[in-house]
Amino acid sequence: MSTFVKGGSTGTPFGKNEYLRSRQDVKFEHYTVAASTVVARTIDTVAGQKILQPGTVMAKITSGGESGKIGPYTSDAGVTDGRSTLANVVGLLDTFLPWQLMERDVEVAVAYECTAVQGWCIEMSAAQPSVGVAVTNATATAMQRGGAAGKGVDINWK
């Protein structure tokens, strides 16, 4: 029988991020995420946790040992593997990865055409490299049809 303990131990809550305004007419492509591109963080005093949420802007890796895979797009100019270039953006991550990246690279689905809520989507930045920030207007504009993002990326923002 379950019991309730007042003031019991609680951890940092986290769950799957919702980012889509509608599931209608969403188009996906499949890629492999390079685990090395996700910054580890400490959660509830446990170091080395790698969590990647749906709605994260993803970009192709164009140089180095992980070339051909994808990783979180970052506005950090110090990242030189191609993930900081808007032309390499492939879309928004749809797969929730709460721990898998601590062990290996993972196959994921990325939405390249959808209607998403800008404030619910995430891009990595130098200021917050492990948790990210809401997608900036510049990134959102680039991800619309005809924007600077990769060919075929068409995110309708609400």
Neighbours of 74 (CB within 10 A): 21
Q: Where are the domains of the chain?
A: 21-157
pLDDT at 3: 66
Q: Is the pLDDT of residue 26 over 90?
A: yes
- 120/111 Cα distance (integer angstroms): 14
Q: Is the pLDDT of residue 52 over 70?
A: yes
**Average pLDDT, whole number, for the chain?**
92
Tell me the pTM. 0.91
> DSSP state, 145?
T
Neighbours of 26 (CB within 10 A): 16
Neighbours of 140 (CB within 10 A): 19
Residue 86 banded pLDDT, cuts 50, 70, 90: very high
pLDDT at 127: 83
Which phi and psi angles does 63 have, rounded to 5°? Answer: -150, 160
Percent of the chain past pLDDT 90, that is, above it, reads 75
Do residues 58 and 70 make contact, with C-beta atoms less than 8 angstroms apart? yes
